[in-house]
Structure 1
Amino acid sequence: MNKMDYNESIKKINKQKILTTIDALKRNNMDARYFESKEELLNAVKEMVPEGSTTALGGSYTIKQIDGLTELIKSYDFKDRKKEGSTKEEKRQIAMEANFVDYYFMSSNAITVKGELYNVDGTGNRVSALIYGPDNVVVIASPNKIVSDVDAAIDRVKEQTAPMNCERLNMDTPCRKLGRCANCRSMDKICIFYTLTGFQRNKDRIKVFFVNDDSLGL
């Protein structure tokens, strides 16, 4: 099997995995969609978000990796909690306002094939918006976020997501040095709030957009 055949095989298997997960997310009243490429997803976001909408963004390496997506999100009435020159109180106020935007964008640390979103947060702003507030929460994900169940989601965060994010963010934590969770009490700890999101009463408020590209995300 040559490299192209191998890559195509992986893409086909990932598509099936995504579509299975999409069915489960829809049963949990989430609007889940499949995109073959980053360009397709970018165009869908452009079509979905009306001009003049308020937007906000939770920290996401996946979103950063999609060319043009961060810029698109910020082209609306964007609530920038990291705005340069803002005081600590101003940043806190902007973070609070992000809970009331029209469209909040984020990724998820893991998504189970049963249609559940598993997230671990350091400050709580990201999971706060996911749970309650914004009219629309758009979760951008790749097939490498999909896991079999909640136990696998927990392991993924402990053994991969948290150590890699601590390295990326230059946080002084044991997991960055050990390569897996040490149940630390470091002041740089990013694993503070643990949330599992399943069935929704507010149908389609949460939207999960999958891109069939396993190079995205941590």
Structure 2
Amino acid sequence: MGKIEMIISNLQKRKIPAKYFEKAEDAKKAILEEIKKEEVVGIGGSMTIHDMKLHEDLIKAGNPVHWHWLVEPSERNGVRQKAATADVYLTSTNALTEDGELINIDGVGNRVSGMFYGPKRVIVICGINKICSDIISGIDRIKNSACPPNAKRLGLKTPCAETGICNDCLSQDRMCNITTIINHKPMTVDLKVYIVGEELGY
């Protein structure tokens, strides 16, 4: 059994359905076919979703899309709340262990909370660059490969934005405020994971 097959098997043991797609375009097509036109879609902050342009195709299809990245700062909290109760919630994960656990670090918390409470269905898209051997290596990956470039992209005044490595800071702009590990299917949310054989996001 290859690594991807093993991860999918381990996710399924945790009652989390999973699929593998060679290309992001293949995953995108499957997601667009899966979401009905009348369904409301919420999106958590995700460069993967942004780069795949999923939001653009959903809007063109007529789906109501709630994503705080698409509105002015003054409107973001309201949009985050609408996304939290959507029919379908789309996001990525910061790390996926070989044992099938999803690890995420968030600043506000809307993205991670939407993965396990609120929406009816959640689809998590994971590029192969997010796969890690275990929880420890997953957290290390997030703090040193995901958060620093993300902080720099957002113009945050954190040490990692300057140095490129985590300093476990207590700065005002700190984005490593909430860490979650999904060990098993959330009780009230249908969660599935789509693994893509390309590097996606941070």
Normalising by structure 1, report the TM-score: 0.85
Q: Give secondary structure in 2 for the equivalent of 1:207.
A: strand
Q: Which residue of 1 aligns with 2:46?
A: 60
- Retained in 2: the 8 A contact 1:57–1:105? yes
Contact 1:162–1:175 under 8 Å retained in 2: yes
* Matching residue of 2:5: 19
Instruction: Quote the residue 1:166 is aligned against.
Output: 151
1:26-105 correspondence to structure 2 within 5 Å:
26-66=12-52, 68-75=53-60, 76-84=63-71, 88=74, 90-105=75-90
Tell me, what secondary structure is at the counterpart of 1:172?
coil
Judged with a 3 Å threshold, the aligned counterparts in structure 2 of structure 1 residues 16 and 143 are, in CA distance, closer, same or farther, namely farther
Give structure 1 stretches of 5+ with no counterpart: 1-14
CA distance in 2, matches of 1:167, 1:16: 36
Structure 1's 38 and 28: CA in aligned 2 closer, same or farther, altered over 3 A?
A: same
Q: Offset of 1:136 from its aligned partner?
A: 0.8
Which one is further off, 72-81 or 146-155?
72-81
Computed over aligned residues only, the root mean square deviation of the Cα atoms, in angstroms, reads 1.9
Paired position in structure 2 for 1:217? 201
Kindly tell me: are residues 16 and 178 of structure 1, through their superposed partners in 2, closer, same or farther at Cα, counting changes over 3 Å?
Answer: same
Alpha-carbon distance, 1:204 to partner = 7.5
d(CA) in 2 for partners of 1:100, 1:136: 10
1:100 alignment partner, SS class: coil
**Number of equivalences:** 200
Sort the Cα spacing of 1:57 and 1:153 in 2 relative to 1 into closer, same or farther, 3 A: same
Cα pair distance change 1:84/1:130, threshold 3 Å? closer
- Counterparts of 1:203 and 1:188, CA distance in 2: 33
**Largest Rg, 1 or 2:** 1
Q: Which moved more, 1:68-77 or 1:97-106?
A: 68-77
Q: Which residue of 2 aligns with 1:4?
A: none
Indicate the percent of aligned positions where both proteins have the same amino acid.
35
**What is the CA distance between 1:119 and its match in structure 2?**
0.2
The one-letter amino acid of 2:80's match is A
Q: Describe how 1:197-212 pairs up with structure 2 within 5 A.
A: 197-200=182-185, 202=187, 205-212=190-197
Distance 1:77-1:148 versus aligned 2 partners, 3 A rule = same
Note the residue ranges of structure 2 that are not aligned, 5 or more in a row.
Answer: none
* Residue of structure 2 in register with 1:189 after alignment: 174
- What displacement does 1:201 show? 5.2
Q: 1:152 aligns with which of 137, 158, 171?
A: 137
TM-aligned CA distance change 1:164 to 1:77, over 3 Å: same
Structure 1 contact 110–153 (Cα < 8 Å) conserved:
yes
Answering whether residue 106 of structure 2 is matched by residue 121 of structure 1, we say yes
Task: Give TM-score scaled by structure 2 length.
Answer: 0.91
**Equivalent residue of 1:141, what SS?**
strand
